[in-house]
């Protein structure tokens, strides 16, 4: 398939872009020669690299609005954990596919997930055409438990064997230690060694709340970051979610070990967890990207919303309107996300890169007038996304999904939620 995009705006200029199969092969102001299988008008359209959601739990779309106005501990133990006991393979598959549809509609081309029934998440991802880094969350409260005897580890092991690099390489399988407060040092150390041995990425929650951070110090005499560093977790490429309460010395460890951090501003604000020190992390050279967390704590899977909130939040908190350039926010959601997932030649609109792109409709109230394409971030919302393409395949265009029967999926989702959780459908 050879596609020509007819002069959408990229970085302030109208240009022609050619996609051949899954690769960008031409970008220029002169119309390229040759025949094309499809020509897509760029009139009043702006093109961006596809967005990355680098921390989420996609089956938790089941729990959108299920547990509100609670701090994290009560939210988890009184509402979410009991609800998760009712999960089935079918409900995880349907809710994952539903979440993926939402992300695709919102311009997300790839996501990083940590949950259970992860083979069903992988199957939903393969079918829909999205990219994904998927991990089975690992927890251990038994000091005598070894990896070889743990059913969760065996699920993670089989997930890697069955799905790593599946979907023409779109699906990557990570290992996922849930958090320090749900694991013991010996188990983490064993998992870290296995992860390094198979060459996988690691995905983990770190210092989401002040109580999590301080209680780890009380238990172990060290911060969660130091705990994982000593256990060898960071010997593999790691994405650490939240990191709201990490110390300066924690950040130095992250910088030294090349840890990527997934900033989840909306979830952290909604749960009252706090505000991550994003400007300090960026100054230290840490690779920071964005995550939504799950729908139970965020309610949407909208990276454009995370970008907007982050762009204005840190200005207000630091009393400095120029503290983070909008170009840096865009880089976090695209190029930095690809780096976090270890996806080479992804995250940019450049010749030789994967054709992971989105088109934004500039012919709407919030996009007129347009003086600066980067600054348009302060105006853009997910309703402006009119096309999402991953690996050269159009997944969503002008309100239509190409890989998903969206009306059937909505019916199935409502049915599962009503039957299992008494949701009003």
pLDDT single digits (tens) 153-212? 999 999 999 999 999 999 999 999 999 999 999 999 999 999 999 999 999 999 999 999
Confidence of residue 72 (pLDDT cuts 50, 70, 90): confident
Give the span between the Cα atoms of 163 and 146, in whole angstroms. Answer: 24
Q: Is 142 exposed, middle or buried (0-12, 13-18, 19+ CB in 10 A)?
A: exposed
Enumerate the CATH 2.30.40.10 domain ranges in the chain, comma separated: 2-49+354-401
Q: Are strands 357-361 and 385-390 parallel, antiparallel or unpaired?
A: antiparallel
Work out the percent of the chain whose per-residue pLDDT is above 90: 96
Reported confidence tier of residue 229, pLDDT bands at 50, 70, 90: very high
pLDDT digits (tens, 9 = 90+) for 249-277: 999 999 999 999 999 999 999 999 999 99
Quick one: pLDDT at residue 75?
Answer: 86
**pLDDT at site 2:** 97
In this prediction, residue 105 carries a pLDDT of 98
- Rounded to 5 degrees, what are φ and ψ at 61? -60, -25
The predicted pLDDT at position 73 comes to: 81
3-state secondary structure 207-227: CCCHHHHHHHHHHHCCCHHHH
Q: Are 323 and 279 within 8 A, CB to CB?
A: yes
* pLDDT bucket at 71, cuts 50 / 70 / 90: confident
CB 311 within 8 Å of CB 381? no
* Radius of gyration from C-alpha coordinates of the chain: 21
In this structure, are residues 110 and 387 in contact, taking their beta carbons and an 8 Å threshold?
no
3-class DSSP state of 6: strand
Assign 335 a pLDDT band (cuts: 50, 70, 90).
very high
Residue ranges of the chain that CATH labels 3.20.20.140: 51-340
Mean pLDDT of 1-18: 96
Segment 336-362 mean pLDDT: 98
The dihedrals phi and psi of 113, each to the nearest 5 degrees, come to -125, 150
* Residue of 275, 284, 177, 172 whose CA lies nearest to 225: 177
Q: Which residues pair with 419 in a beta bridge?
A: none
Closest C-alpha to 206, from 166, 253, 256, 143: 253
pLDDT score of 374 more than 80: yes
How far is residue 265's CA from residue 279's CA, in Å, rounded to a whole number?
A: 13
Higher pLDDT, 308 or 77: 308
Supply the DSSP string of 112-144, one letter for each residue.
EEEESSHHHHHHHHHHHT-EEEEEEEE----TT
Q: pLDDT-derived band of residue 240, with 50, 70 and 90 as boundaries?
A: very high
Give pLDDT, residue 47.
98
Cβ atoms of 375 and 366 within 8 Å: the answer is no
Per-residue pLDDT band at 424 (split at 50, 70, 90): confident
Element spanning 418, H or E = helix 406-421
Backbone conformation region of residue 118, classed left if phi is above 0, alpha if psi is from -120 to 50, else beta:
alpha
Per-residue DSSP letter, 78: I
Measured between alpha carbons, how far apart are the two ends of the chain, in Å?
Answer: 41
Query: How far is Cα 255 from Cα 287, in angstroms, rounded to an integer?
Result: 8
Residues 310-333: tens digit of each pLDDT:
999 999 999 999 999 999 999 999
Mean pLDDT score across all residues of the chain: 97
The fold for domain 51-340 equals TIM Barrel (3.20.20)
Q: CA 205, 208, 213, 219: dihedral to nearest 10 degrees?
A: -40
CA distances from 266 to 174, 296, 301 (A): 24, 12, 10
Burial per residue of 162-180, b for 16 or more beta-carbon CB atoms within 10 angstroms, e otherwise: ebbeebeebbbbbbbbbbb
Helix (H, G, I), strand (E, B) or coil at 110: strand
Give the rounded percent of residues in the chain with a pLDDT score beyond 70: 100
State the pLDDT confidence band at 395, using cuts at 50, 70 and 90. Answer: very high
CATH number for the domain formed by residue range(s) 2-49+354-401: 2.30.40.10
Q: How does residue 70 score in pLDDT terms, banded at 50, 70 and 90?
A: confident
- Please compute the mean of the pLDDT values over residues 330-357 and round it to a whole number: 98
């Amino acid at each position: 398939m050879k596609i020509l995009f007819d002069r959408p705006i990229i970085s302030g200029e109208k240009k022609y872009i050619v996609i051949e199969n899954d690769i960008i092969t031409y970008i220029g102001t002169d119309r390229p020669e040759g025949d094309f299988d499809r020509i897509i008008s760029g009139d009043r359209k702006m093109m961006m690299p596809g967005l990355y959601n680098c921390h989420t739990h996609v089956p938790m779309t089941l729990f959108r609005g299920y547990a509100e106005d609670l701090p994290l501990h009560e939210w988890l133990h009184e509402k979410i954990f009991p609800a998760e006991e009712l999960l089935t393979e079918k409900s995880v598959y349907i809710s994952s596919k539903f979440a993926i549809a939402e992300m695709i509609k919102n311009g997300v081309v790839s996501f990083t997930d940590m949950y259970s029934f992860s083979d069903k998440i992988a199957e939903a991802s393969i079918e829909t055409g999205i990219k994904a880094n998927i991990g089975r969350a690992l927890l251990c409260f038994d000091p005598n438990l070894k990896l070889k005897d743990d059913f969760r580890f065996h699920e993670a092991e089989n997930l890697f064997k069955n799905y790593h690099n599946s979907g023409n390489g779109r699906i990557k399988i990570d290992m996922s230690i849930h958090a320090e407060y749900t694991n013991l040092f010996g188990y983490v150390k064993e998992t870290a060694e296995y992860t390094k041995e198979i060459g996988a990425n690691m995905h983990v929650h770190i210092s989401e709340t002040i109580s999590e951070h301080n209680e780890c110090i009380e238990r172990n005499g060290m911060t969660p970051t130091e705990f994982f560093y000593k256990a060898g977790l960071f010997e593999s490429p790691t994405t650490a979610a939240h990191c709201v309460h990490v110390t300066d010395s924690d950040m130095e460890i992250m910088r030294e070990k090349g840890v990527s951090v997934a900033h989840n501003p909306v979830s952290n604000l909604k749960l009252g967890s706090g505000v991550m020190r994003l400007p300090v992390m960026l100054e230290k050279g840490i690779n920071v990207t964005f995550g939504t967390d799950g729908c139970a704590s965020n309610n949407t899977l909208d990276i454009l919303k995370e970008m907007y909130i982050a762009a204005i939040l840190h200005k207000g908190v630091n009393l400095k309107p120029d503290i983070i350039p909008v170009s840096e926010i865009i880089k976090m959601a695209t190029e930095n996300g690809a780096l976090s997932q270890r996806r080479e030649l992804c995250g940019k609109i450049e010749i030789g890169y994967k054709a992971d792109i989105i088109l934004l409709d500039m012919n709407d109230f919030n996009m007129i007038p347009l003086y600066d394409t980067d600054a348009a971030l302060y105006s853009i919302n997910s309703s402006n996304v009119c096309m999402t393409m991953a690996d050269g395949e159009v997944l969503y265009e002008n309100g239509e999904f190409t890989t998903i029967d969206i009306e059937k999926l909505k019916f199935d989702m409502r049915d599962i939620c009503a039957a299992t959780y008494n949701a009003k459908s």
